[in-house]
Structure 1
Amino acid sequence: MSDSPSKQIHQGRNIKRFREMLGIKQEALAYELGEDWSQKKISLLEQKEEIEASLLSQIAEVLKLPVEAFQNFDEEQAVNIISNTFDNGSVGYQKNDNCTFHPIDKIIKLHEEKIALYERMLKEKDEMMQRLEKLIGK
C-alpha cells in the first residue's frame, strides 16, 4: 500500500485543531466572521471535510494563519515526522544530567514569593485603612 497524495485532508478538523491551539472558542470565531455566524454554525463547519476557498481564506485571516495550514495539514503525516525525528538525544528531547536546580525548588520559590506579595498587599491595605479612619475620624 503506497502513500498516495489522493488522501483527503479534513479541512474542518484542521480549522478546529488550529482554533483550539490558539485558544479561540467557537463563539469568538463566529463573532469575528460576522453576524450570520454562530457557535453552532462553526461546529458544523468544523465537521466538513472540504470548505470553500473564500471561506477558508476568511477564517485564515481571522486566525492569522496561512490558508495552506487548513488545506495541507495532515495529522498522521505530522505524527510520523515527529516520531521519526525526535528520539533520545535529538533536538526535541535532551537528557540533561547537569541540571543546576530542581523544578520543585522553583515551584516552592514561586509560592514563597506569592505569599510575600500577598502579605505586602495586606499590610498596605491595613495602612490605607488606618489613614482612612484618621481622615474620617477628624
Structure 2
Amino acid sequence: MSNTNQPHHGRNFKRMREILGIKQEAVALELGEDWDQKKVSRLEEKEIIPDDLMDQIAKILKVPAEAIKNFDEEKTINFISNTFHDSLNGSAVASTLYNCTFNPIDKLVEVYDALLKEKDEKAAILQRLLDEKR
C-alpha cells in the first residue's frame, strides 16, 4: 500500500508534461532510441522514478527535478486562486505581474527624439548629395 503523503513521481511528470504542452513522443525522442511513447506512458504510472531518469526528464521539460518530484496540483490551484482574483478589478494582478522601473512617457519621448534626429541626419545627407550633383 502506498503512502498518500508521498508524491507520485509518474503522475507529477505526466501533469507537468501536459501543462507544458509536451507530447509523450517528444519526451521519448529526447530520452533516446530505447524509448517510445508506450514506455513513457508506463513511466508515468510509476510511483517513484529513479533520480538519474528524473534528472533527464527535468532537463527535457526544462524544470528542476524537485519541481516534478514535489508537484502538488491542488496546492498550485489553491495558490493561484488565492493570489490572482479579481476582487480589485485586476489591479492586484497587474501590480503583481508588472513592476515598471521607468516612466513609459519618458521612453516614448526618448524614442521620438531619436527618430527625429535620424530623420534630420538623413535629410542632411540627401541635401549634401543633391548639392554635390549641382
- TM-score bin, normalised by smaller chain: 0.5 to 0.7
Separation in structure 2 between the aligned mates of residue 83 and residue 15 of structure 1, nearest angstrom: 23
Separation in structure 1 between the aligned mates of residue 34 and residue 50 of structure 2, nearest angstrom: 16
Q: Could you tell me which of 25, 32, 35 is aligned with 1:34?
A: 32
User: Which segment is superposed worse, 85-94 or 29-38?
Assistant: 85-94
Q: 4+ residue stretches of structure 1 with deviation over 4 A?
A: none
Deviation at 1:93, TM superposition (A): 8.2
Deviation at 1:35, TM superposition (A): 1.0
Equivalent in the alignment of 1:24: 22
Indicate yes or no: 2:64 matched with 1:63. no
Question: After superposition, what is the alpha-carbon deviation per residue over 1:22-73, rounded to whole angstroms, capped at 9, x for unaligned?
Answer: 2211111101100111100100111112111110001111111111111111
Deviation at 1:84, TM superposition (A): 2.6
* RMSD (CA atoms): 2.1
Separation in structure 1 between the aligned mates of residue 81 and residue 19 of structure 2, nearest angstrom: 20
Instruction: Specify the SS of the correspondent of 1:8.
Output: coil
TM-score, normalised to structure 2, is: 0.58
Larger Rg: 2
Gaps of 5+ in 2: 96-134
How do 1:35-114 and structure 2 match up within 5 A?
Answer: 35-87=33-85, 88-89=87-88, 91-92=92-93
- Confirm or deny: 8 A CA contact 1:19 1:25 kept in the other structure: yes
Corresponding pairs, count: 89
Amino acid at match of 1:68: E
TM-score, normalised to structure 1, is: 0.57
Gaps of 5+ in 1: 1-5, 95-138
User: For the structure 1 residues 54 and 82, does the alpha-carbon distance in structure 2 shift closer, same or farther, using more than 3 Å as the test?
Assistant: same
